[in-house]
Amino acid sequence: MQQYTGFAAVYDLFMDNIPYEEWTDYIKHLLHKHGIENGLLLELGCGTGNITRRLAACGYDMIGIDSSEEMLAIAREKGSEQDGILYLCQDMREFELYGTVAAVVSVCDTMNYILKEEELLQVFKLVNNYLDPGGLFIFDLDTQYAYEEVLGDNTIAENREEGSFIWENTYYEDEMLNELTLTLFIPEKASVYRKYEELHYRRAYPLDTIKQLLEEAGMEFVAVYDALTEKKPKKTSERVYFIAREKRQANKVYIS
């Protein structure tokens, strides 16, 4: 089953609890703290562009990459020629740009969708390749605690006039894998609903593994924070933010 196909049309409806303004302010703070107050930024897994557009409004030139054309179509509809955002439909495991960027950001547990360490390493290597010298990489991750203790084997359901969803979670401890079955009922006309089903997998990664992969990709690990703070993660942290920096290397060929 493809991800974010039927869900794309109602993604913003069911994700209206996400504090996009707060997330954007936090990312902007981290960027400014590390000296990136303007320039070209890339968002990986941009979805319908909720963070992309807000960062553009902060004065950054934005590129958004997502593997779902349906999500990108909605992002483009919400934008305008004035925002200057370039949206590209690409798999982040093999994305390509025409040049480098000042920073790469990725939120909303996008990196958890990369299920194999070797593929996550490939993403990190690509990010490093497309960063300006000294450029910054900021991304979030759902934690092992979130999948084990919060989502676990729980079911979440919501019913609205605009549509309904059932969100069934199964956690496989040995593989550190969260299986998410999403069932949608979206109204088409009076008393008639179309049913959509999507299957999602997300993987939890030990924080030390992420740090190791970042360094193996050639980046300098800077920090990992409990979400929306500058404090160290706790055992009960449900989401963390990683910061890494491009590290200039004598044998690296930079893209011009």
* 146-203 topology per CATH: N-terminal domain of TfIIb (2.20.25)
- Three-state SS for 80? coil
Spatial separation of the C-alpha atoms in residues 233 and 199, rounded to whole Å: 29
Amino acid in position 14: F
Nearest alpha carbon to residue 226 among 235, 236, 214, 239 = 239
CATH of 7-142+205-246, one of 3.40.50.150, 3.40.718.10, 3.30.479.10, 3.40.50.720: 3.40.50.150
Two structure tokens written together for 236: 């009960």
Spatial separation of the C-alpha atoms in residues 82 and 111, rounded to whole Å: 30
The per-residue pLDDT for range 112-142, each reduced to its tens digit, is 999 999 999 999 999 999 999 999 999 999 9
Residue 136 sits at the vertex; the CA angle it makes with 75 and 68, to the nearest 5 degrees, is 25
The per-residue pLDDT for range 90-107, each reduced to its tens digit, is 999 999 999 999 999 999
In the chain, the percentage of residues whose pLDDT exceeds 90 is 74
User: CB–CB of 250/157 below 8 Å?
Assistant: no
The domain limits of the chain are 7-142+205-246, 146-203
* pTM given for the model: 0.92
> Which of the residues in the chain have pLDDT under 50?
1-2, 250, 256
